A and B are shown apart, each in its own frame.
Chain A
Amino acid sequence: MEALFATVTGFLAASGLYLALRGRTFPVVVGLTLLSYAVNLFLFSTGGLTTNGAAVIRDGVDYYADPLPQALVLTAIVIGFAMTAFSVILAMRVRGDLGSDQVNDQRGEESKEDKS
């Protein structure tokens, strides 16, 4: 299970990184989203991978999963989700304001130089 988990996480992170380095805003947003999924999976695995482990201490149970990464990953998911929503809106605004979805569009800068 470890090998599969690690491969999936690594593949997600690599795809996310590749997309985040693209030149248009939409792939960048998708890339950052994939990266945050990979991070969530990774964070989830930091307590060690266990199946059928109890998260809360009870009598008669001696096989436990680490509950803390589950709490951490919840925080990370909430923050990551909010930031994805924000960056989608921002990307649309970039498209509207600059008339292009290129991340490094120089048009805004050129018009500023013209004035000087």
Chain B
Amino acid sequence: MHHLIILPILLPLLSGLLMLVKRDSAVLPRRAIALVSTALLLAVSAMLVVQSDSGDITYYALGDWQPPFGIVLVLDRLSALMVCLTSFLALGSVAYACAGDDRKGSNFHGLFQLQLMGINGAFLTGDIFNLFVFFEVLLIASYSLLMHGGGKERTQAGFHYVALNLAGSAMFLIALGVLYGTTGTLNMADMSQKVAALDPDRLGLLKAGAFLLLVVFGLKAAILPLYFWLPRAYSSAPAPVAALFAIMTKVGIYAILRVYTLIFGDSAGELANFVQPWLWWFALATLALGGLGVLSARDLRNQVAYLLLISVGTLLVGVSMNREAPIAALLYYMIHTTLVSGGLFLLSDAIGEQRGKAGARIVPGRGVTQPALLGLFYFVGAATIIGLPPFSGAIGKALLLDSALPSEQPWLWSLLLLSSLAGLVAMARSGSTVFWKAGRGDNDGPRLKTAMLAGLILLLGASPILSILAGPITRFTDASATQLLDQSAYSEAILSPNVTGGDS
């Protein structure tokens, strides 16, 4: 079953190409291809999770070039979890898009599949230059998806997004050049061993490269000084795209987690864990400003974008604590927050569609056509993302709060709880404005289509399920954190010649 590892990349690539054959063909076959391919992807990634849960780190050597010389795809618990999360989120967004959003521009589903390919590739690759290539694949697809449907606001937000990310890519390449120049390898496992035995004269250069890499990942993850593009880009993107974008910030967080635990982790000698103290303060500041942003948002979609920012801050705080318990907690929180913020983007769009002119802005206006149904979704979504029990947000936040050391508690507890309070106030205010201070809904107005309902149920309904299955999931995330922090096992699995991982 070695070939299973490459399927999350090949499957979306093939279906994306299939949809390029006839770009303006009928919409129904495209929807069928997109849905079937995403569902298959979910099945494959679930199998990968099961395979990775044996605890072995397996790799797939492309073209049978063995590491450290060839490019490898690596499957461990963390990458399997991230791929599975991506495909679940994608299934919800694709289902929602089938209600009509996919007809507003050309080739929505094809681009969507190519973006999935980039995201999955970034999670699976074990080669740092290959990571850059997959970042570019997902970015190029996201540029077009962001502007799907057109409009002034999207064009401008799109230009900012493209210009920023081009500058980011340039910095990524400089950082990679420095890392390659100092260590002489691009394979992450090999690099982690080279860093430990580096000539002290070159440490400064390597450190500069590593910091530059942190800036690039920080731009993708939207840490404090680099997050200003996010609220605008996400709130102007079409809803299913914004929902998929919920995983894009997590790609940045995953890259930080992987690179700074594996290459610059405990085994890195003088450079061991040197970014985490920096990350701690930036993450806390992101958390605080996200809380303020949520209070100031005047549009439901903008509000969700700031809630996403709070979750980025929370996740990075967990990364910067760099111990097993916080990392396990943040992985659980990551599953929850990705799915629920994706669901909330979809919900804001559904609410906006039913309110006519008022749209998704937080102003009293016409009521929605289906107040009971949308209100229920909104209640579940809001309670979850803020972290009220019994939903999954409460479990994730409690795990993270519990894992803090006494020296970290004053900062983490106060800021995390205050930003949750800000979220609570903001969501309560916007919920009461949209649902209670509203006039009568138009009974003949647009109703939720089955496809939209399916997308919403899939993403927001995941939250109660995450609470019910919290036991097995936390067991898996605990094991993932243990595996992630054991760098020597990772390097050994990739580099030791007696393990035959690659299948020719």
Contact A90-B177, Cβ < 8 Å, known A83-B140, A108-B153, A116-B361: no
In the complex, 17 of the A-B residue pairs with CB atoms within 8 angstroms, ordered by the A residue number, are: A32-B167, A35-B167, A46-B181, A72-B176, A72-B177, A72-B180, A75-B133, A79-B169, A83-B140, A86-B140, A86-B143, A87-B163, A90-B162, A91-B159, A94-B156, A94-B159, A103-B160
Q: Which of B152, B169, B176 contacts A83 (CB 8 A)?
A: B169
Q: From B153, which residue of chain A is reached at the shortest CB distance?
A: A108
Partner of A94, one of B140, B143, B155, B177: B155
B interface residues (Cβ-Cβ under 8 A, vs A): 129, 133, 136, 140, 143, 150-153, 155-156, 158-160, 162-163, 166-167, 169-170, 173-174, 176-178, 180-181, 186, 361, 363
CA distance A97 to B154 in the complex (A): 10
Q: Which residues of A contact B129 (CB under 8 A)?
A: 72, 75
Q: How far is the CA of A87 from the CA of B167 in the complex (A)?
A: 12
Interface residues of A in 16-50 (CB under 8 A from B): 20, 25, 28, 32, 35-36, 38-39, 42-43, 45-48
With A97-B152, A108-B152, A116-B361 known as contacts, the answer to whether A32 contacts B177 (CB < 8 A) is no
User: How far, in angstroms, from A47 to B185 measured CA to CA in the complex?
Assistant: 11
A residues sitting closer than 8 Å to B (CB atoms) are 20, 25, 28, 32, 35-36, 38-39, 42-43, 45-48, 68-69, 72, 75-76, 79-80, 82-83, 86-87, 90-91, 93-94, 97-98, 103, 105, 108-109, 112, 116
CB-CB nearest in chain B for A33: B166
Q: Contacting A42 at CB < 8 Å: which of B153, B160, B169, B174?
A: B174
Flag if A43 contacts B156 (CB, 8 Å).
no
A residues in contact with B151, CB < 8 Å: 97
B363 nearest in chain A by CB position: A116
Binding site secondary structure of chain A: helix
B164 → A minimal CB distance (Å): 10
Residues of B within 8 A of A93 (CB): 155
| Inter-chain contacts of B153 with A (CB < 8 A) | 108-109, 112
A46:B162 contact, CB within 8 angstroms: no
A112 CB contacts on chain B under 8 angstroms: 153
Residue numbers in A under 8 Å from B177 (CB-CB): 39, 42-43, 45-46, 69, 72
**Cβ–Cβ contact A36 & B170, under 8 A:** yes
Are A47's CB and B170's CB within 8 A? no
Q: Contact: A98 with B156, CB < 8 Å? A: yes
* Interchain CB contact under 8 A, B156 and A105: yes
